[in-house]
């Protein structure tokens, strides 16, 4: 893939063979975010586990102290008074069985997070093939299957994100916008890394955090020294 002039200029600032301290890495990441829009900064963490095994899964959710900088659209599956509670808490969309054909047949998906009360999971389960591949299926582990929909909605709007392993044993997570600056991004990075380290499965052997890198949407990746995270 051929990169543009801005990317090539940014690349000159980074030693691709170096493992940087987190603060230094973020400083480089912010400096190399040169697009005309406010780029999202993401962290990519490769773990020494095997996602094929249930006892080596790493998944959870955490509230970033400075949020993600993204306007997140929340859908809540509920019934009765919980519909009203979810709406008052700030949910963008609420509903029950009536939403199934809209999502299944019409491809209606203007939301980023799906929350459901436990009594709705029989209904939401029908959307597994649609929501699952997009990482939108509600789960108790991520706090998105809960009887307390008000709390769940407020946490998402406050900057709660979910982290989970992909098939290559890597976790990809947004930690904010380049405009946040190094200090706020570092707070968010430390929060997500602490959560990932605490979620280490008992079955994991050897080095847990194999590699860690950050990158803005259009910028080059910057490697962080994984030993900073308790290996």
CATH number of the domain enclosing 141: 3.40.50.790
Is the domain of 148 the same as that of 84? yes
Q: Same domain, yes or no, for 173 and 202? A: yes
Which of residues 157, 174, 192 is at a domain's end? Answer: 157
Mean local confidence (pLDDT), 12-30? 92
CA quadruple 25, 26, 31, 33: dihedral sign: positive
DSSP β-bridge partners for residue 40: 177
Strand ranges inside 2-73, DSSP E: 40-47, 59-63
The residue with greater pLDDT, 43 or 8, is 43
Edge to edge, the sheet with strand 113-116 lists: 93-95, 74-77, 113-116
Q: Are residues 95 and 131 in the same domain?
A: yes
Q: Say whether both 9 and 117 belong to one domain.
A: no
In a shared domain, residues 172 and 220: yes
In the block, residue with structure tokens 């509600």: 138
**Overall domain count for the chain:** 2
State whether 50 and 11 are in the same domain: yes
Residues 30 and 141 in one domain: no
Judge if 170 and 198 occupy the same domain.
yes
Domain that includes residue 32, residue range: 5-67+160-229
Nearest to 61 by CA among 127, 147, 155, 130: 155
Are 20 and 51 in a shared domain? Answer: yes
CATH code of residue 189 = 3.30.190.20
Q: What is the mean pLDDT of the chain?
A: 93
**In this predicted model, what pLDDT tens digit does every residue of 46-104 receive, in sequence order?**
999 999 999 999 999 999 999 999 889 999 999 999 999 999 999 999 999 999 999 99
Enter the tokens of residue 170.
């890597």
Q: From CA 92, how far away is CA 110, in angstroms rounded?
A: 10
């Amino acid at each position: 893939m051929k990169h543009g002039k801005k990317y090539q200029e940014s690349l000159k600032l980074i030693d691709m063979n170096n493992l940087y301290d987190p603060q230094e890495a973020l400083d480089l990441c912010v400096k190399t975010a040169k697009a005309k829009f406010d780029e999202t900064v993401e962290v990519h963490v490769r773990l020494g586990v095997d996602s094929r095994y249930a006892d080596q899964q790493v998944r959870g959710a955490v509230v970033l102290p400075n949020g993600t900088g993204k306007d997140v659209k929340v859908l809540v599956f509920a019934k009765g008074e919980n519909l009203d509670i979810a709406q008052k808490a700030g949910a963008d969309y609420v509903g029950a069985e009536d939403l199934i054909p809209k999502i299944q047949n019409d491809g209606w998906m203007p939301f980023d997070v799906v929350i459901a009360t436990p009594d709705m999971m029989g209904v939401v389960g029908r959307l597994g093939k649609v929501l699952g591949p997009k990482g939108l299926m509600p789960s108790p582990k991520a706090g998105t299957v809960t009887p307390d929909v008000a709390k769940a909605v407020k946490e998402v709007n406050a900057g709660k994100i979910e982290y989970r392993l992909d098939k290559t044993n890597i976790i990809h997570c947004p930690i904010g916008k380049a405009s946040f600056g190094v200090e706020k991004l570092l707070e968010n990075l430390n929060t997500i890394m602490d959560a990932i380290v605490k979620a280490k499965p008992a079955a994991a052997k050897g080095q847990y955090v194999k590699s860690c890198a950050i990158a803005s949407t259009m910028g080059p990746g910057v490697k962080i020294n994984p030993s900073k995270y308790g290996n």
